């Protein structure tokens, strides 16, 4: 497909995303010996996907790395809320989305997503864009981990523009924020959407740069932290903080809404949920504790590089 002299190569995007899913699963598998359970599914309205899940293994308590490619005759409400001019267009959406919940409370949860959308209408130019990013949710903060995470993100962005890291870091901080709690979900990372400013070829290259950098950002952290000794107090705090993760995904996450509103596979959409979680009424950490430090030192607007 050509748009204003550009070739929109949807097949190349799909092949990259399938390869990214394979690569991330293989690299995580080199750390954790567990076996991924794979489900291939078909969406009745159009499209389907390939979901891979790892549950209750030695290092990863629950992880999911999903590929989906869905299409339909009309954009869902979650997509047209911010782009009303797209109402009535047929669409295609494809992407890889992953969440890793480690066993050890000292190993942070991580999330990543890269995606491509195109909305088309007869007699009109197609509208397309890339989106994605990744964010980190620690339970016990670590300066080395946070700096490494953000430096890797910055390096991925700097290849394209020295302005992108600060722009997409700030967007991530704003997006992954629980307004009803007045606190961030974690220490952020990158978030970008509606991205087509470099033209198709270079916008696609930027999305690939972000997707390819995830493993370099996260796996060294997982390798450093998964063997740290912990007790029941740390485990209970991890489960409590996981509640915030669930709240964000169910209340604020646009990707969850998009998946549900397009009739996506519910099991795959909600694979991001941790296997165990707890809520406790009006709980606050002991002043000066490691748990309190998470709030005062890490869950704040902060520059990491």
Active-site residues, by number, are 111
180 is in an annotated binding site: yes
The CA distance from 109 to 98, in Å, is 11
Answer for the pair 99, 110: CB distance below 8 angstroms, yes or no: yes
Task: Answer yes or no: is 23 a known binding residue.
Answer: no
> Would you say 101 is a known binding-site residue?
yes
Q: Report the distance separating Cα 60 and Cα 3, nearest Å.
A: 43
167 assigned to a ligand binding site: no
Instruction: Determine contact, residues 258/70, Cβ cutoff 8 Å.
Output: no
Tokens 């995606």 sit at which residue? Answer: 115
Nearest of 77, 115, 92, 79 to residue 196 by alpha carbon? 115
Q: Is 264 annotated as a binding residue?
A: yes
Tally the residues of the chain.
Answer: 305
Query: Known binder of ligand: residue 226?
Result: no
Q: CA-to-CA distance for 113 and 189, rounded, in angstroms?
A: 12
Residue 199 assigned to a binding site = no
Q: What does each C-alpha distance from 137 to 3, 107, 285 come to in angstroms? A: 39, 9, 18
Among the listed residues 24, 78, 58, the one whose alpha carbon sits nearest the alpha carbon of residue 193 = 78
Joined tokens for residue 138: 């620690």
Token digits for 142?
């670590």
Nearest 5°: the CA angle 37, 38, 41 is 140
Whole-Å CA distances, 162 to 53, 102, 174, 198, 247: 36, 33, 20, 14, 34
Q: Does the annotation place 215 within a ligand binding site?
A: no
Q: Is 113 annotated as a binding residue?
A: yes
Strand partners of residue 102: 60
* 69 annotated as a binding-site residue: no
148 is in an annotated binding site: no
Give the angle 130-120-2 at the CA atoms, nearest 5°: 75
Q: Which residues participate in the annotated binding site?
A: 97, 101, 111, 113-115, 150, 180, 263-265
Q: What residue numbers does the annotated binding site for substrate cover?
A: 97, 113-115, 263-265
Binding residues for a divalent metal cation: 101, 111, 150, 180
């Amino acid at each position: 497909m050509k748009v204003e002299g550009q070739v929109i190569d949807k097949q190349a995007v799909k092949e990259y995303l399938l390869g990214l899913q394979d690569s991330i699963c293989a690299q995580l598998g080199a750390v954790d010996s567990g076996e991924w359970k794979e489900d291939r599914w078909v969406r009745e309205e159009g499209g389907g996907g390939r979901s891979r899940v790892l549950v209750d293994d030695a290092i990863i308590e629950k992880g999911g790395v999903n590929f989906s490619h869905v299409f339909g005759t009309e954009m869902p409400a979650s997509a047209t809320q911010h782009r009303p001019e797209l109402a009535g267009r047929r669409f295609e959406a494809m992407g890889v989305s992953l969440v890793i919940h480690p066993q050890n409370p000292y190993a942070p949860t991580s999330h990543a997503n890269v995606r491509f959308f195109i909305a088309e209408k007869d007699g009109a130019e197609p509208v397309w864009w890339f989106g994605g990013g990744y964010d980190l949710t620690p339970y016990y903060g670590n300066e080395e981990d946070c700096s490494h995470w953000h430096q890797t993100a910055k390096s991925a962005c700097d290849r394209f523009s020295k302005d992108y890291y600060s722009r997409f870091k700030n967007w991530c901080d704003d997006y992954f924020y629980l307004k009803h709690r007045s606190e961030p979900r974690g220490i952020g990372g990158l978030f970008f959407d509606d991205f087509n400013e470099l033209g198709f070829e270079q916008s696609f290259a930027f999305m690939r740069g972000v997707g390819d950098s995830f493993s370099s950002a996260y796996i060294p952290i997982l390798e450093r932290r998964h063997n740290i000794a912990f007790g029941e107090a740390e485990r209970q705090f991890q489960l409590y903080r996981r509640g915030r993760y669930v709240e964000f995904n169910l209340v604020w996450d646009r990707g969850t809404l998009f998946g549900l509103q397009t009739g996506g596979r519910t099991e795959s959409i909600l694979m991001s949920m941790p296997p165990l979680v707890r809520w406790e009424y009006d709980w606050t950490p002991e002043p000066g504790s490691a748990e309190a430090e998470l709030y005062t030192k890490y869950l704040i607007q902060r520059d990491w590089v």
